[in-house]
Amino acid sequence: MYRVGIGQDSHPFDNGKPLVLGGLAIFKNNGLKANSDGDVILHSICNALSSAIGGDSLGTWADEMRSRGITDSKEYLEEIMKKINNKK
């Protein structure tokens, strides 16, 4: 069986942060306003993967991670991969 998920994410610009896309810092001071690094590419991927397994959106479970100081979206991707592996 194939599973399909759709993911979307958006944030307004914030000139005080680096722009992070796909886990890479692209620009030093033209980032996105977010509680995390604001990486809309990884956030969208996380939302799509979570959607494919019938899970909650990134904001639902990433808030708990952010409360522990985790703001790197690559760690959010690792977390959703754990959730996928637990579904098998």
Reported as a single tens digit per residue, the pLDDT across 3-26 is: 899 999 999 999 889 999 999 999
Structural contact between residues 53 and 84, judged by C-beta atoms closer than 8 angstroms: yes
pLDDT tens figures, 22-79: 999 998 889 999 999 999 999 999 999 999 999 998 988 888 999 999 999 999 999 9
Class of domain 13-87: alpha beta
> What are the DSSP calls for 12-62, one per residue?
-EETTS-EEETTEEEESS-EE--SS---HHHHHHHHHHHHHTT---HHHHH
pLDDT at 2 over 90: no
For the chain, first and last CA: distance in Å?
A: 12
Task: Note the pTM of the prediction, 2 decimals.
Answer: 0.90
**Per-residue pLDDT band at 87 (split at 50, 70, 90):** confident
Please report, for the chain, the start and end positions of each structural domain, with discontinuous segments joined by +. 13-87
